Structure 1
Amino acid sequence: MKKAIITGITGQDGYYLTKLLLEKGYEVHGIVRRNSQNSLGNLEHLPKEELEQINIHWGDITDNLFMDNVVKAVQPDEVYHLAAQSFVGFSFENPRFTYDVNIGGTLNVTNAVKEYAPSSKLYFAATSELYGKVQEIPQKETTPFYPRSPYGVSKLAGFWTIKNYRESYDLFMSNGILFNHESPMRGPEFVTRKITMAVAKISHGLQDFVELGNLSAKRDWGYAGDYVYGMWKILQHDKPDDFVLATNETHTVREFVENAFKVVGIDIEWEGEGVNEIGKDANNGKVLVKVNPEFFRPAEVDILIGDYSKAKKELGWEPKVKFEELVKMMVEKDLERIGKLK
């Protein structure tokens, strides 16, 4: 039986990756940061029989001794390093914490593998935010990086740490440069889930409108379930390497909003521009979407669109869930959640 350690197991990707690895017969070990409620985050949505199979290690990736001890004890075949301060907006508010977790934590995980389980395969969750102020369209593995946030900078340090250790010590360490991937398990602080939750609440009469930032920002949105399969494929490859996982499609935040409201039978009409733009219910003229300048980033990333042709050619990976299907899936799950709360 293969053994895997997942850092960041309580997040969106950790949830889907755990399900995938359990299906494949892995012994799954998860790193969970201690909290007052002993919360397991998204893992609490797993069926009881799956949850009971997970070996939880309470601790913090910023504690190098803890990471050393876990890797030494488990002797994993694979390590999936997903843990991070992953919210771009918060990284501007608290860059030091972001750097401590994303750079220091990654160094601790990487060193633990190097010292105590050098035959392990390590996956690092890089990000399309590395490209930031994009230097070419679409972005691929050879596109120059230009991060535009403390989060992007911290992930760039992680990316190069993985590459450096791979080349310096002949270790199997790979980077997955994943473009935006969403799901019903996405955290509520992310714009996609903020939109789908708002649509569900507005539909149920619990909220009047939603306030958003840059409606024209373009993103390459895929489904998290597809992307964790790509992570697994990256570690099954015959050699360590770096791969872009994306859909090669781009959609604006505005399009995401339109598609989300369509799920509840509302067509959105837009008026105005910039911070004065509003989205109205085409049927009755009620304002449902407003722009709030507070939600703009200090340095904006205008367009991200990934070329996943290398992953398709070398791994046989490609995304399956289309944009409209993803939005519908997320809205319907939030409608179900809100319905249960009422």
Structure 2
Amino acid sequence: MTKKALITGLTGQDGSYLAELLLNKGYQVFGLVRRSSSSNLERINHLSGDIQILSGDLLDQSSLMDVIAEAQPDEIYNLASQSYVPLSWTQPALTAEYTALGVSRLLESIRRCKPDAKFYQASSSEVFGQPDESPQTELTAFRPRNPYGVAKAYAHWMTVNYRQKYNLYNCCGITYTHESPRRGTEFVFRKITHAAAQIKLGLANELKLGNLDARRDWCYAKDAVYAMWLMLQQEQPDDYLIASGETYSVKELVECAFNCVGLNWQDYVSVDPAFYRADEPVQLVGCIDKIKIGIGWQPQYSFNQLVELMVDYDLKKLSS
């Protein structure tokens, strides 16, 4: 029998890659999209004939119940949220409505309409904020330091509580920063690979960045969505970190990206205090022992391979 999956956040980076993965595995895929949404559908245009789009909104529980009742999904992946950290400071209440309370509405809709569905909640390493240990594990205390992290912490614990209270198959994947050519240029990894390509092609002559010493645990979005799918294929639900287990500095990222285009980054990159992030989290890096041992997942792409892949993409896109 064909499995059915419902994805919220379909038009985002992760949603589009997850939809491709599920379609390749023979799923019937439904995507939840706000009726009034002006979302960029570019990431899923190539899948438009293969996915059934349903109208719903995380702010409206009745619409979520209608969508679940219509789709009758075997698996539900909640990838929708207000996910840009700086914006969470300027729109904290809206971030809470979508990223926190939206998950409550979704969980309650699942409980009422399709309690046998398997549910994946996209948690974030931002729940750790300034952690008291590094690397972090699934048992590291949550200490979020921005409204987005606070909202994700609420959503995480509601998912766990619904699993415990109602015996639902609920999983949380605590994802660290994951990148791809489908990432927006407002995010530092893509900003850097895009700028290196622009400068190489003579379309720009400088790149301004914030803290070059900031370190991140970066992995490829395709690897991350495979982990999401794998989590819902297990006999028992559980929560896992999805990370690379390694950190690299912004400076190392810049050097690698400019090396890909044969340029010396120091000739083009300057530091601008305006780009320093408030409350810069310290050494966010995930220990992936549990997910490696428990379900056999680990990243397939190295840091250098990811940088090369994205620089190549940006060179081709800007040249076309």
**Residues 202-217 of structure 1: matches in 2 within 5 Å?**
202-217=199-214
SS at match of 1:129: helix
The whole-number CA distance in structure 2 between the counterparts of 1:38 and 1:163 is 30
Structure 2 residue matching 1:138: 3-state secondary structure: coil
The separation in 2 between residues aligned to 1:37 and 1:177, in whole angstroms, is 28
Q: Distance in 2 between matches of 1:92 and 1:208?
A: 31
Task: Give the structure 2 partner of residue 172 of structure 1.
Answer: 169
Alignment of 1:67-106 (within 5 A): 67-106=64-103
Moved more, 193-202 or 169-178: 193-202
- Cα deviation for residue 267 of structure 1 reads 2.6
User: 1:3 — aligned with what?
Assistant: 4
Is 1:57 the counterpart of 2:58 in the alignment? no
Aligned partner of 2:278 in structure 1 is: 298
User: Could you tell me which residue of structure 1 aligns to residue 117 of structure 2?
Assistant: 120
Superposed CA RMSD in Å reads 1.3
Q: Is the 8 A contact 1:32 1:40 kept in 2?
A: no
Find the aligned partners of 1:55 and 1:331 in 2 and give their Cα distance: 33
Report the counterpart of residue 302 of structure 2 in structure 1: 322
CA deviations 1:215-255 (Å, max 9, x no partner) are 11111101111110100010011111110111111001111
When residues 265 and 133 of structure 1 are mapped into structure 2, their CA distance, relative to the original with a 3 A threshold, is: same
**Cα deviation per residue 1:50-97 (whole Å; 9 max; x = unaligned)?**
430100113322111111100111111000000011111111121111
- TM-score by structure 2 length? 0.97
Give the match for residue 18 of structure 2.
17
Which residue of the partner structure matches residue 243 of structure 1?
A: 240
Tell me if 1:308 matches 2:288.
yes
The answer to whether the 8 A contact 1:125-1:176 is kept is: yes
CA contact 1:11–1:41 (8 Å) conserved in 2: no
- Asked if structure 1 preserves the Cα contact closer than 8 Å seen for 2:200 and 2:263, the reply is no
The 5 A counterparts of 1:193-342 are 193-268=190-265, 280-281=266-267, 288-340=268-320
In the alignment, which residue of structure 2 is the partner of 1:40? 41
What is the aligned residue count? 319
Greater alpha carbon shift after TM alignment, 4-13 vs 293-302? 293-302
Overall identity of the aligned pairs, in %? 45
Change (3 A) 1:36 1:74: closer
Q: Cα 1:126–1:216, aligned 2, differ >3 Å: closer, same or farther?
A: same
Name the SS for the 1:236 alignment partner. coil
Residues 135 and 145 in structure 1, CA contact (< 8 A), matched pair in contact too: no
Q: What is the CA–CA distance in structure 2 between the aligned matches of 1:104 and 1:37, rounded to whole Å?
A: 22
TM-score of the superposed pair, with normalisation by structure 1:
0.91
